[in-house]
Structure 1
Amino acid sequence: MDEVISQSNDAYGLGSKVEDENVYEPVPTRGNTLPQEEVNSAAVKERKLRVNCYAIVTIIALVMSVLSLIVALVAVSYATIELNNQQGQLGSSSLEMESQINQIRLSNDQCKIQISDLHTHLNNSNQMLNDSNQQIQIIFQDVREIIATVSVSSCSDIPQYKPSGEYWIATNATSSPVQVYCDMDRTSCSCSTTGGWMRVANLDMTDRNQNCPDGFRLVNRTTPPLRICGRPGPTGCVSTTYPTHGVEHSRVCGRVIGYQDKTTDGFAPYYFNRTVTIDDVYVAGVSLTHGQLPRQHIWTFANAINEVSSNRWVCPCTRPDLAYTGAVPPFIGQDYFCETASRQLLSLDNAFIFFPDDPVWDGQGCEGTSTCCEFNNPPWFCKQLPQPTTDDIELRLCGDEDTENEDTPLELVEIDVEEGT
């Protein structure tokens, strides 16, 4: 049987059976045997095919790698662009943020300034409030003074222990209380009483805050520096009135200080024209009166030409040996001061000069032959009036020539009145 099978296999080219019954060794046959060249050619083709496959796969892999690289580069480019955009946006945001920060800082500075201004306003308001409180206190004090003195009609009614100063008084002549200066220690006058004097005139041209009375001429001199009040120019008198506020008074106290300018004539205007009255130009100097038509005499201040002449232009107290009869007007009596600043005869060369070194009516600078510094004890006068009066007091500065020839400009005027009998 085995032989039959073997022959069958040989016949069909299946090979012969070997030791392993399941393994067959090919037996060349005519039907499955190829020529050697074809076998080699097939092997080469197979190898070429494999090489071509490997090349294709490699190329595909390279292409894929290149594509992946391109994709990666594109992605990197997009990422770079996005990053740049983000950085640009970040930079823009940073600029905006910096601008906002600067605006915040500016607003903060403005806020600080406003707070500082607010503090300043608050401080000013507090100061204004304090000032207002002080003013209110002053007003209340004034009201208290008014209430306390509303029944006082003159400085004489104020208790003697009160200090000198401003006080409120009320008289029948005034519709409301008025504030006046009361001198509670008046010892400079030659009057016998002290205290309770009401000041009605207080001109002091050494105080640059004061001005000349209306109608007077302001004279400014530089050598030495003087501010004084003279006549406006023409022959005659310039006048000012000092109110007494209806206070009844019977004594007048005061002083007047002036300067000699050129050839003043003393009482000569009256001496050479005996028809002049107290309402006329009767003196070169000051006439102090009260009332009208006719005026009532209080005191006269005469400014004479010099201390050495023997004529009617000198003071009676300068040359008592001459004793000019009738040189002094009878309506004056002995109530006057007369003085000169010139110590020599005035020639044409020195007649028209100003005498700044020796003020007149101050009781100083009299020569040995003159008794003018002793007569009535200048500079203060005290006049007991014939009867009490409520008249205001008038001061006239007079000259019988224009100011090109004579004047007596004034530096100081102080007048007080007192109630009494």
Structure 2
Amino acid sequence: MSSKLNMMPILYLTALALLSLALLSLPTLAIAENGTCTRYGFDVEFPGVSCADIYDKNPASHGKSGYYVIGTDHVRTVYCDMELECSGHKGGWMKIADYDTSKGDDCPSGWKKIKINGLDLCRSPNDNAGCYSTHFHVNKVSYNKICGRVKGYQKGSPTAFERVSNPSLDNGYVEGISITLGSPRKHVWTYAVGLSDDHNYPVYNCPCAKYPGPSPPAFVGNHYYCESGDTGAFSNSPYYTTDPLWDGDGCLPDNNCCTNTDQPWFFRQITMARKDDIEVRLCTNEVFSNEATLVEQIEIYVQ
């Protein structure tokens, strides 16, 4: 009996030593004074669920845009903008698209680069009419807010929302840029290009022009911007590169296309969270020699 009693302190100390070694082998959380884990989202051992999740749970991320670790099924890094404020929602935006050909970037997949008047711009991959898609992946991250901007230029004679028969998200309902998600497509935002800001073309101009053109289809609603780079009579050949589209600038009196102070930024909040990739389409209903929308910049975020 006494020998067993003598062994108990030894066994206890051994167990305590093993437990201490086990604890030392576990990852160490960096705990701030408020009890949050300051490594959450910064470390592969503590991935966040999304950029918004990291922003909400780890104050150390505030004001620090860059690459963070997320993942539920598998761990990966994504770019989180922790400073961007879009329609009052600040921080926690995951960047899914960032192309700017003025900085030397290539065009998104499915489009091609062209140099016009000294500018590198993106256009459709061929000269035919139609819509040409590129997709931006969300890495299966759940979101219900979408924010972004597009900068483009007019070529020739695009005609905004000139009516097509039975307009839908699957046909060329607009001349310009269509942003959608999911299958079947759900409308996010439209950047339309009208024929002229100031000339009398009521069938082909933007709805906000001095001589208004047709309203957008019901599925677009008010979720669009429309502008023209031309203020006079149209010509099929010119590239209107002195007046960027959708920037809220360059409109003449009696034209309401520049009144939204958020331009070129858009914001959409959807009812139910989604994990769908974002589709952006360049759309035209005539051949390239007649008209086109040329894109210099696309930036899209989800939250």
Provide Cα deviations, 1:386-409, integer angstroms capped at 9, x if missing partner. Answer: 221011100000000111111111
**Cα RMSD for the two superposed structures:** 1.8
- The equivalences for 1:237-252 within 5 A come to 237-252=131-146
What is the distance in 2 between the residues matched to 1:345 and 1:182?
Answer: 45
Partner of 1:206: helix, strand, or coil? helix
- The equivalences for 1:207-286 within 5 A come to 207-208=103-104, 210-221=105-116, 223=117, 225-232=118-125, 233-268=127-162, 271=163, 273-286=164-177
- The equivalences for 1:378-397 within 5 A come to 378-397=263-282
Q: 1:169 aligns with which of 70, 73, 77?
A: 70
TM-superposed deviation, 1:145: 3.6
Q: How high is the sequence identity, in percent, across the aligned residues?
A: 35
Q: Once superposed, which parts of structure 1, at least 4 consecutive aligned residues long, lie more than 6 Å away?
A: none
TM-superposed deviation, 1:171: 3.0
Residue identity in the other structure for 1:213: P
What is the distance in 1 between the residues matched to 2:139 and 2:216?
Answer: 32
Pick 1 or 2: higher relative contact order, CA cutoff 8 A, min separation 6.
2
Residue identity in the other structure for 1:412: Q
- The equivalences for 1:13-412 within 5 A come to 145-150=42-47, 152-158=48-54, 159-162=58-61, 163-172=64-73, 176-187=74-85, 189=86, 191-208=87-104, 210-221=105-116, 223=117, 225-232=118-125, 233-268=127-162, 271=163, 273-293=164-184, 295-307=185-197, 308-319=199-210, 322=212, 324=214, 327-346=215-234, 350-375=235-260, 377-412=262-297
8 A Cα contact 1:342 1:355, kept in partner: yes
Residue identity in the other structure for 2:299: E
Aligned residues: 257
What is the distance in 2 between the residues matched to 1:309 and 1:149?
Answer: 60
Residue identity in the other structure for 2:80: C
8 A Cα contact 1:256 1:361, kept in partner: yes
Residues 149 and 274 of structure 1: CA distance in aligned 2, closer, same or farther (over 3 Å): farther
What is the distance in 1 between the residues matched to 2:299 and 2:45?
Answer: 28
Q: Aligned residue for 1:8?
A: none
TM-superposed deviation, 1:359: 0.7
Residue identity in the other structure for 1:229: C
Residue identity in the other structure for 2:203: R
TM-superposed deviation, 1:185: 1.0
Q: Aligned residue for 1:72?
A: none
Return the TM-score normalized by structure 2. 0.81
What is the distance in 1 between the residues matched to 2:176 and 2:110?
Answer: 16
The answer to which structure has the higher helix fraction is 1
Residues 322 and 338 of structure 1: CA distance in aligned 2, closer, same or farther (over 3 Å): closer
8 A Cα contact 2:203 2:213, kept in partner: no
Q: Structure 2 regions of 5+ residues with no counterpart?
A: 1-38
Q: Aligned residue for 1:108?
A: none
Q: Aligned residue for 2:7?
A: none
Residue identity in the other structure for 2:66: G
What is the distance in 2 between the residues matched to 1:357 and 1:283?
Answer: 23
